[in-house]
Amino acid sequence: MPPHESSPRNRPRGQAAGRGKPDENERPEFLTALGLLPPVSLDDVEQAYRLKVRAAHPDTGGSQAAFLALQHFYEQAKLYAEFFTSRRQWLGAQTDRYLHQATVLDELSRRGGEYELEHLDWLDREIGADFAQLLDRVAAVRLTGANVGDLDLAFLADFAEVFSSVTRLDLSDAAISDDALGHLAALPSLVRLNLSGTAVTHRGLEVLESLASLEWLNIERTKIGAIRAMRLRHSYPQIEIVH
């Protein structure tokens, strides 16, 4: 997403004249996307976001992809601003979050699950890789096979504060029911969902109404027939459905 060149009238305060232009290689992508130059405050981020959100929203001529990308940049920019406001206070809060996440991920592993973390590179430069891992977020989860059941999906929903950042979820060959799929509504960031080899039917896929970010769905080897798959493609043209 290209940077926004704002006029003096609508320039966010974090982009005020006289602060100097940093090396573009050092400016995080999310600041570029919001049209901000460091240093920035939370007020700067909020103002920049308000300038862009209307144009990006699908209801006002934007696209779903642009709106979701802007949300992602907005969340990262807020973390960035919070970090520079008070490093000591920020580190304390993130340490508590990191320890809680580690406990939840240990339980996920005990249930036979696997996960991938997303790392924020800009923190490596500021506080070093060891501290930067405090802000690692869960990007992908794999819970597959006959030993995975409805209680495991309930577990993901119960700890949505940890799993809400998940964009890829693999539930292939899991023993899950249509009713359990409703728990996925707690994972609004899902982009790719693999349900191949499960016993789910079209009834369970009503949850798709709650997954606005979803772009890819695998329903091979399920109880969903070709006609139902065709109807799903018609109802959700933004989703690539593998059947």
CATH code of residue 55: 1.10.287
Q: Strand pairing of 137-142 and 114-118?
A: antiparallel
Do 45 and 137 belong to one domain? Answer: no
Pair of tokens at residue 94: 């993130």
What angle in degrees, to the nearest 10, is found between the helix axes of 64-85 and 87-110?
120
Residue closest to 83 by CA, chosen among 47, 33, 31, 32: 31
Pair of tokens at residue 215: 């772009």
Between 121 and 242, residue with greater pLDDT? 242
Among the three residues 50, 85, 120, which one is the final residue of a domain in this structure?
A: 85
State the chain's maximal CA–CA distance in angstroms.
63
Among the three residues 50, 69, 85, which one is the final residue of a domain in this structure?
A: 85
Q: Strand pairing of 192-194 and 216-218?
A: parallel
Do 81 and 116 belong to one domain? Answer: no
Cβ atoms < 10 Å from Cβ of 91: 16
Provide the percentage of residues in the chain whose pLDDT is more than 70: 86
Q: Is the pTM of this model over 0.85?
A: no
> Band of the pLDDT at 39, cuts 50, 70, 90?
confident
Q: Does residue 123 sit within a domain?
A: yes
Contact 90, 127 (CB under 8 A): no
Provide the percentage of residues in the chain whose pLDDT is more than 90: 60
Q: Does residue 80 sit within a domain?
A: yes
Residue closest to 229 by CA, chosen among 238, 193, 218: 218
Do 160 and 50 belong to one domain? Answer: no
Cβ atoms < 10 Å from Cβ of 51: 16
Q: Is 220 left (phi over 0), alpha (psi -120 to 50) or beta?
A: beta
> Number of structural domains, the chain?
2
Is pLDDT of 127 > 80?
no
Do 74 and 119 belong to one domain? Answer: no
Q: Supply the pLDDT for residue 13.
A: 34
**For the residues 116-143, what does the mean pLDDT come to?**
82
Q: Supply the pLDDT for residue 119.
A: 82
Do 223 and 151 belong to one domain? Answer: yes
Please list the alpha-helical segments (H only) found in 86-144.
87-110, 121-127, 129-132
Do 137 and 180 belong to one domain? Answer: yes
Q: What is the CATH number of the domain that holds 204?
A: 3.80.10.10
Q: Does residue 103 sit within a domain?
A: no
Residues spanned by the domain of 191: 112-242
Q: Supply the pLDDT for residue 22.
A: 41
Is pLDDT of 53 > 60?
yes
Helix, strand, coil % in the chain, rounded to nearest 5: 55, 10, 35
Among the three residues 70, 85, 100, which one is the final residue of a domain in this structure?
A: 85
Q: Does residue 6 sit within a domain?
A: no
Q: Does residue 95 sit within a domain?
A: no
Q: Does residue 171 sit within a domain?
A: yes
Q: Does residue 74 sit within a domain?
A: yes
Do 145 and 208 belong to one domain? Answer: yes
Do 117 and 45 belong to one domain? Answer: no
Do 72 and 137 belong to one domain? Answer: no
Q: Does residue 42 sit within a domain?
A: yes
From residue 144, alpha-carbon distances to 109, 113, 175, 185 in Å are 12, 7, 9, 19
Q: Supply the pLDDT for residue 237.
A: 95
Do 74 and 151 belong to one domain? Answer: no
Do 63 and 121 belong to one domain? Answer: no
Do 58 and 116 belong to one domain? Answer: no
> Band of the pLDDT at 128, cuts 50, 70, 90?
low
Q: Supply the pLDDT for residue 20.
A: 38
